[in-house]
A and B are shown apart, each in its own frame.
Chain A
Amino acid sequence: MSADSLLAILEPTAQIVALVVIVTGLANNAVYTVEILVAWLELRGRPPVERSGALWSEFGDIAMPITLIVPAYNEEATIVESVRSFLSLNYPVFDIVVVNDGSKDGTLQALIDEFLLTPVVRDFEPEVVHRPIRQLLGTENHPNLLVVDKANGGKADALNAGINLTRLPLFCAVDADSILDPDALIRAVVPFIEDPERTVAVGGTIRIANGCTVRGGRIVDVGLARQPLALLQTVEYLRAFLMARVAQSRMRILTLISGAFGIFQRDVAVAVGGFSQNTVGEDFEIVVKIHRHMLERGRPYVIEYVPDPVCWTEAPESLIVLGRQRIRWQRGALETFAKHKDMLFNPRYGRVGILGFGLILLTDVLSPFFECLGLLLIPAFWAIGALDASYALAFMAVSFSYGVFLSIGAIVLEELELKRFPKVVDLVVLTVAAIVENFGYRQINNVWRLVGCWRYLRGAEGWGSMPRRGFRPSASAVRRDP
């Protein structure tokens, strides 16, 4: 076959590939445009964020009791400070159940030493499945603290043990390496107070703690991460939470409440069998299960996202660790999508099936594949002369500038709603990060997502290690005052 005839075949192929990539990109951008508009409308209509004191006098007497379930696996570096931080939350009545999920390090011993834990007995019913519990530990110094020591079974398994051990109507799943704002619980519980019968789950905002100053287990000075990778994740989180979640919550199609901070009605979580153990996206999957459960029974319900309660988490600062995290997220999303694929475009599941699952199909299943395809093939086709570069470049320019526009939009929403970054210079740095993330970071994220797809197809299991610096005095990522 001559070069000319090969080119004659490749040219239409290249045009089709370019067209598919462009159409997918346009569809993605259309979704983001709708999301940012809906989020803006939603946030604009909200009353100003209440000060903590006003919240307490308004809800202090009527807030429902909550159990914080803290799964911990090899969290020796952070667990004591985290539990101290949780114990000092401003909330009228709450329990803390720390579940040591068979840690191989000194997580349990650190807790025993710090809180003077001794074995206790607690009556409970095994309503959801989990690996055997070895012992329960408590302390007279903190009657609301219970430590569950169990065989290793993964995060979902640990959460399930916590669900069984709680006797309160609501539980809050929170990561052991996270820090909650002191009034995060009272802010997050408001939908349950306003509409206790229909509200089944509420998610709050996750923000990057890198660059912040932590004192006594609390964020006392909010700052931006200095490390570039963490900084780029800050913009990414703003976009994910203040744009996507706000909009999806408003449209009643919220399918993800972050595993780092979400409140659930215990009865409903039990009714859906608790967290599923055969997925790495247990936080995503339980929300989808709840949607399915409620819709199949025709029960009115609300799953809501509230932007003001904030949970701070430490972002990975190395490409390898971040890559592992993103690959795992992608696998989790695909596992959930595959498990509940019958909900896709199924009118029985209303807007969740049509819009919610349609979004998952577009953003989690199709987008990474086509974006990577475009990244690889379009330059290749151009190099061999099968594609006119001018159009491809023009579309790429639109795509990049639109990406910047969306990220700036998320920063605008943050500024209108939360104003958590205290310095003017922070906004400038965030703006620069919003531009820079489109050149390299976004693309590598797509590659990780594609790897996640590959791993999912190969049936990979496990979480991979996620080393943390911890909120310690020696940590450079998160500053802690002495």
Chain B
Amino acid sequence: MGLLESLWWGSLLLSGLSILIAGGLVAMRAVNVVIEGRRARRRDELTTYIVVALDADSPTPDFESRLNGRDRDLLAEVAMELFEMVKGGHLERFTALLKRTGVIDAARRRLRQGKSFQRVRAARLLGAYGDEAAADDLFLRLRDRDVNVRLAAATALADRGEVRSMWELVHSLSYAAIRSTPRLRHVFRGFAVQHADEIIALATDPIGRHLRPFLIDAIGHSGRFDALPFLIDTAMSDPDKQMRAEALAALGRLGHPDAVDAVIGGLVDSEWPVRVQAAKCAAAVGIGEAVPLVERLVEDPVWWVRHQAAESLSSFGEVGHAALERLALHNTPGALVAQRTLFEKR
């Protein structure tokens, strides 16, 4: 076959293939429409059953015994969507329903054997509705080969607020090549109250060094004043500016007046992110001694520091307002910030 003939045959082949693919696509869609329609109807039936079952005195064993694997998948899907809405006694009944109908067991199997995205979804479901056994499964998934599953398992455990060992969790996340995503902040905040002691210990331990910003942040959410010395020390002497800033943010959240020295030190720090957090912390804790230094920061070379300092001053009531009015009279970049802040707060 010559080139010319090959070209014509090639062209014909491509055209035929295109039409065949398009035809197959249309046929596939036609079948899918029927399947999806059935699925949507079944989903509605299951949702209705759930809504009725949550208020009913006793379950309907007949209905539940007829559920198959696809139904359990649909129930899991509905369960995740309803999670934010189901509270208190309803949540307990819903959890019991999911357990009775085998949804929890199916999720546990998926968590072990499913594809990566299925393991992630199973982890989410078990975080929301799982029991003790599910918590153990989630804990084991902290060593999953897929980093997304590890993170999903950690998030699920954080949603439950409990984990068998914070050390194991930190170890798994530290070596999972997880980047510093906001999820990690969420994870450690989830454990902040119930695992405060371990978090404080981990923040000073070499094992937690990769996750220190998140551990320090979690301490701020723990409400534990016994962590103040550690936070103050970190804010005042840690060589890493990010740690100093995190410690000041945590001190601001704890709101204890003992933070005064750390705040004063932070307001004159050479790094602007630390100065910003110090100004915010001064306002959050209400440290009156810091006002003159915050006032000085309204003339900082960095606009964001100027802006945050002016914002902080506006939180100090009359003293801060007076400081802003004084600044507004000058002919400096800080004066413009002060003027605008005064206008904004009006």
Contact = CB atoms under 8 A, between A and B. Distances in A.
B21 interface: yes
Interface stretch (B175-183, B202-210, B224-232): B175-183
Given A47-B120, A408-B22, A123 B11 contact: no
B180 A197 contact: yes
Nearest to B80: A54
Output the residue of A56, A62, A127 with the most chain B CB within 10 A. A62
Interface string A388-412: 0011001101101110110011011
A120 interface: yes
A395 B10 CA distance: 10
B26 A408 contact: no
Contacts of B21: 408-409, 412
Main secondary structure, interface of A, reads helix
Interface string A94-126: 000000000000000000000000001111010
A140 interface: no
Interface size class of B (residues with CB under 8 A): 35 or more
Given A398-B14, A424-B29, A64 B182 contact: yes
A194 B179 contact: yes
A84 B136 CA distance: 47
B133 interface: no
Chain A: interface residue count, which band?
Answer: 35 or more
A292 B185 CA distance: 32
A307 B129 CA distance: 31
B18 A395 contact: no
Contacts of B29: 415, 424, 427
Given A125-B303, A394-B11, A427-B26, A196 B180 contact: yes
A147 to B, nearest CB: 16
A196 B344 contact: no
Contacts of A62: 181-183, 185-186
B101 interface: no
A122 B344 contact: yes
Nearest to B78: A53
Interface in A358-396: 390-391, 394-395
A58 interface: yes
B17 interface: yes
Contact of B17 (A48, A63, A405): A405
Interface stretch (B52-60, B193-201, B244-252, B335-343): B335-343
A445 interface: no
A431 interface: yes
Contacts of B343: 121
Given A394-B7, A401-B11, A427 B25 contact: yes
A411 B25 contact: yes
A438 B250 CA distance: 62
Interface string A20-54: 00000000000000000000000000011001011
B11 A397 contact: yes
Contacts of A142: none
Interface centre among B8, B18, B26, B120 (most CB of A within 10 A): B18
Contacts of B124: 54, 57-58
A61 interface: yes
Nearest to B30: A424
A63 B185 CA distance: 12
Given A397-B8, A427-B26, A51 B186 contact: no
Given A397-B7, A427-B29, A121 B81 contact: no
A195 interface: yes
Contacts of B28: 415
Interface string A186-217: 00000001111110000000000000000000
B307 interface: yes
Interface string B91-108: 000000000000000000
A87 to B, nearest CB: 21
Interface in A164-194: 167, 193-194
A428 interface: yes
B181 A391 contact: no
B83 interface: yes
A198 B179 contact: yes
Nearest to A390: B4
A84 B340 CA distance: 28
Contacts of B8: 394, 397
B344 A121 contact: yes
5 contacts: A57-B80, A193-B182, A397-B11, A398-B10, A427-B26
Given A123-B341, A391-B7, A401-B10, 18 more contacts: A47-B120, A54-B81, A54-B124, A57-B80, A57-B84, A62-B181, A121-B343, A122-B340, A123-B336, A193-B181, A194-B179, A397-B8, A398-B10, A401-B11, A401-B18, A404-B18, A415-B28, A427-B26
Nearest first, the 3 A-B pairs at minimum CB distance are: A47-B117, A121-B343, A123-B340
